[in-house]
Chain A
Amino acid sequence: MKMTSLDRLLLLITGLLSAYQIVVGINDLSTAPIIAYTIAFGVLLVAGLLLIILGFDALDAPIVVIVSTIIPLTLSLGLVWEHSAAFRVPYLVFVVLGFLAVSITRSTPMQNKLPTATIALVHGVAGLTIFLLPIVIALQGQVQPAFALVGVGGALIGLGGLLLSFLKAGKPILSRETILKVLPGLLLLMTACFVAGFRFG
């Protein structure tokens, strides 16, 4: 499917918002969340640029499933590290093992449902963490209410991740055309929610 000028514009704004977040949005945090968020928004930025350059066909590359796992994993790791100190080490272990599991199951030919189950588990846990943690701590008053926007972004990234993963697994929830039509807007909305949540939360 051909990428329209509007798609490119939306992806460019997504990239610029990600760049803003990397440069100024995470300056006051400690080292581990800075690294985690830099990776997350960095993948978003580079992926946006590559989509603009290569078009939607870039999504057909097998590595996309692995790379798209990095965003929720590192975002959720940053959130857990910042706001849930007791779970730092166990969650870091989950992130490392989760990423390795996705990488191995996606790069080794398998006939069973293990690759899909692995993706669903890893995306599910990371997505729920990004969705629930900001909303819970915002409700508890630990952060400003606007931080809940990060949770909204989490819901959107979960939705985008699911749509793309099932499409790549050959069991699309929506048609490829529909997914590609909404993807740039979804990415922008998601990134805007993250940036606004971090800025005002």
Chain B
Amino acid sequence: MSALMTKIRLYWPLIKSTQTGLLLATGIAGYLSAGTLIGLPTLLGVSLTLFLAISGSTIMNMWYDHDIDAKMKRTHKRPAAAGLLSRTEVYWVGMVISAIGVGGALAIAPLYGLVVFAGWFFDVIVYTLWLKRRTCWSIVWGGVSGAMPILAGRVLATGQIDLVGILLALAILFWIPTHTLTFSIKFREDYANAGVPTFPSTYGETFTRATIAVSSVLAAIAIGWASVLIGVSAGYLRLIAVLTAGLLLLAFATFRVGSERVNFGLFKYASLYMLASMIILAITAF
């Protein structure tokens, strides 16, 4: 029993629970945004398959990046980087969880499964294995991958890829740079030590901050547009507008002031903003 608990304690950090939880929330929000009657088994199916597929791709990322994780202060204690788990074990755990997640998604609905698989493919193959160590633009593909859960949820509910689904996916795609670029500024030395190309190291901080500001604006436009199309009530639209104003204000402040504190404030606010938007989209559909 204690051996099992030890394994779980070691496996849990592999899935980056906060990030996985946030992406899972977007997937569920995408599903609920269609306003269809919730079938509890389907909702459970969406939650479980997305959780496993996202966790699986994150573990695969940990498996492949163990060497650069070991060079970074922020990540060197991760189980794979610290040698607490063997690479082979991490690989197989990642593959099995991924297979169950993607396979389960395909079993629920082929188109839903295809979108879930696309998310896994863009994260593991395109972002992690191919581009992350080559170009700072890899984050775009990481963003595409991150946008797939919400699209998958929407696709499962509507049976098609519609304009709302694309807008919701774009909202996540544009929100991700706000998140990751802020991170790459804060931990730029870490990334430099590991030899990972980032926007700050390639184009400088000013350009990076401008990119963060522009992507925040685009994310806000996409979420606002999607909310209107979904038919979010006037009250909740006002709330989204207020939260968006806060995001834009911080993005502008990040660009103008450029302090570490404002930068990290934007990072945290952007997460809160996305979570709040997802909750609003989910509850107002009913």
Contact = CB atoms under 8 A, between A and B. Distances in A.
Interface of A: 19, 22-24, 27, 34, 38, 41-42, 45-46, 49-50, 53-54, 57-58
26 contacts: A19-B239, A22-B235, A22-B239, A23-B233, A23-B235, A23-B236, A24-B235, A27-B234, A27-B235, A34-B238, A42-B238, A45-B242, A45-B243, A45-B246, A46-B249, A49-B246, A49-B269, A49-B272, A50-B246, A50-B250, A50-B269, A53-B272, A54-B261, A54-B262, A54-B265, A58-B265
Contacts of B268: 53
Contact of A23 (B238, B262, B272): B238
Interface of B: 233-236, 238-239, 241-243, 245-246, 249-250, 261-262, 265, 268-269, 272
Contact of A46 (B233, B236, B245): B245
Contacts of A23: 233, 235-236, 238-239
A53 B265 contact: yes
A95 B178 CA distance: 34
List the 5 shortest-distance A-B pairs measured between CB atoms, nearest first: A42-B242, A46-B246, A23-B235, A53-B268, A54-B265
A48 B56 CA distance: 37
Contacts of B234: 27
Contacts of A24: 235
Contacts of A38: 238, 241-242
B242 A22 contact: yes
Nearest to A38: B238
Given A23-B236, A24-B235, A46 B272 contact: no
Contacts of B272: 49, 53
Of listed B239, B245, B246, B249, residue having the most chain A CB within 10 A? B239
B269 A22 contact: no
A53 B267 CA distance: 10
Contacts of B246: 45-46, 49-50
B277 to A, nearest CB: 12
